[in-house]
Amino acid sequence: SQQGEEDPQALSIQEGENATMNCSYKTSINNLQWYRQNSGRGLVHLILIRSNEREKHSGRLRVTLDTSKKSSSLLITASRAADTASYFCATEDLSGYALNFGKGTSLLVTP
């Protein structure tokens, strides 16, 4: 099974700045999802983008998907200290049963 791979591994920004995280994957997908994980906690779903969509917004989140490049990006605008967490992309391949997670991007937002 394939996995998403996030880039960068770690990102440190100041409050108010935008944070951009990228994800690349290897084979065809049904959808791509982004999850957030606070330290030592469970994963929380943020947003899902289907393979026939190119961009999606949810609050301060903007996700893009380029299936020709097999890549996605997550943009968090006007970041807050509370956005500090690890962010994972997860791909659902055509078999559909399992989500495959990447290694995550660790985001630190300093006041």
**52 binding another protein? (CB under 8 A):** no
CB of 16 to another protein, least distance (A): 29
CB of 73 to another protein, least distance (A): 19
Residue 90: what are its φ and ψ, rounded to 5°? Answer: -140, 130
Q: Which of 48, 61, 75, 108 binds another protein (CB under 8 A)?
A: 48
Two tokens, residue 28: 């065809």
Q: How many residues bind another protein (CB under 8 A)?
A: 26
How far is 6 from 73, CA to CA, in rounded Å?
Answer: 9
Two tokens, residue 73: 């990006």
How far is 39 from 77, CA to CA, in rounded Å?
Answer: 21
Interface positions with another protein (CB under 8 A) = 1, 3, 30-31, 33, 35, 40-45, 48, 88, 90, 92, 95-104
